[in-house]
């Protein structure tokens, strides 16, 4: 086992610990005796060929009113004593990509980085489903407004979303005769400057947008169905969706088992698959969530299984 757990994440003071998977990782790392270090991605830097981190020791406790305590700043190279968890949230912008290059250099110095930096670049969370054409819904990725509008009108209804978002941000549901369709497409593509995704609307969303967690290629036996509430079509918990834990169904397990080997092959130890009905809509590899909800409902410890798999 490595000595240090270095967690690259967003502001620890702003998290909601009841729902934060990265916090579950910190708790489990502390329980296992790692020395914990916390930093934001912009605190990584390269000095010659060495990736260094300006970070702080951190202690955590499962107390929603007082969940962390930071120590004095430490500045050092990352190396063979370090297990590094890259948990910064999207967007996967230029700064995020640069951080993965620095973490790849840390790998060369012996650090273990989860998920693997190259995979974080190669697996766009929206586009990666194209590797599994038999599992995905009808999908179009384009910056061409006419092509996107034709896709929507042909299907009568479609979900339109950016390629770099998370948590339901910037997602639209449009009908073929929607008077706002032009504006939606212009907004998402920035008037044809950027690619956007259009997906067939899946009415099974009323039964939940299912999050299936995959640890080292194997699905957790329970999923969290995120069910839309009120007049919102999105099931994302960040948009008010209701989370409901369930056992994996046969089609859910089949999807996870089809995707799992490719994840392992590419160094993705922890992923979240989004499934509506029997269609795979996203493969989340940057900062998959829903661990805390499933652990609480089913009395399990998903992150313990992850640590067993990656640093035994």
Mind telling me the catalytic residues?
126, 161, 211, 226, 234, 274, 282, 284
Token output for 15: 């998290």
In this structure, is the dihedral angle defined by the CA atoms of residues 159, 162, 164 and 165, taken in order, positive or negative? negative
> Residue 87 to residues 12, 99, 282, 294: CA-CA distances in angstroms?
11, 11, 18, 19
Backbone φ and ψ for 272, nearest 5 degrees, come out as -125, 120
Backbone φ and ψ for 235, nearest 5 degrees, come out as -95, -5
What DSSP letter does each residue of 212-273 carry, written as one string?
EEEETTEEEEEEEEEE--TT-----GGGTPEEEEEEPPHHHHHHHHHHHHHHHHTT--EEEE
> Residue 277 to residues 1, 86, 205, 292: CA-CA distances in angstroms?
40, 30, 7, 23
Backbone φ and ψ for 131, nearest 5 degrees, come out as -70, -10
């Amino acid at each position: 086992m490595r000595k240090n757990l270095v967690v690259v994440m967003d502001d620890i003071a702003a998290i909601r610990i009841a729902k934060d998977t990265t916090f579950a990782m910190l708790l489990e790392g502390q329980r296992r005796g790692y020395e914990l270090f916390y930093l934001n991605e912009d605190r990584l830097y390269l000095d010659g060929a060495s990736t260094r981190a300006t970070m702080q020791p951190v202690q955590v406790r499962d107390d929603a009113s007082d969940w962390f305590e930071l120590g004095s700043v430490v500045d050092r190279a990352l190396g063979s004593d370090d297990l590094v968890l890259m948990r910064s949230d999207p967007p996967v912008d230029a700064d995020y990509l640069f951080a993965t290059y620095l973490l790849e250099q840390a790998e060369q110095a012996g650090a273990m980085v989860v998920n693997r930096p190259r995979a974080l670049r190669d697996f766009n969370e929206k586009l990666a489903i194209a590797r599994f054409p038999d599992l995905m819904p009808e999908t179009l990725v384009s910056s061409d407004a006419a092509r996107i509008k034709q896709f929507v009108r042909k299907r009568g209804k479609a979900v339109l979303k950016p390629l770099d978002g998370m948590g339901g941000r910037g997602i639209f549901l449009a009908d073929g005769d929607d008077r706002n369709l032009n504006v939606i497409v212009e907004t998402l593509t920035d008037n044809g400057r950027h690619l956007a995704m259009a997906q067939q609307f899946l009415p099974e969303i009323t039964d939940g947008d299912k999050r299936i967690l995959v640890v080292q290629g194997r699905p957790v036996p329970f999923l969290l169905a995120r069910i839309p509430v009120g007049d919102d079509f999105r099931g994302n918990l960040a948009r008010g969706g209701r989370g409901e834990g369930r056992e994996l169904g046969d089609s859910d397990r089949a999807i996870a088992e089809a995707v799992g080997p490719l994840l392992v092959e590419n160094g993705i130890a922890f992923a979240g698959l989004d499934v509506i009905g029997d269609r795979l809509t996203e493969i989340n590899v940057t900062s998959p969530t829903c661990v805390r909800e499933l652990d609480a409902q089913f009395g399990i410890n998903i992150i313990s299984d992850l640590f067993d798999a990656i640093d035994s």
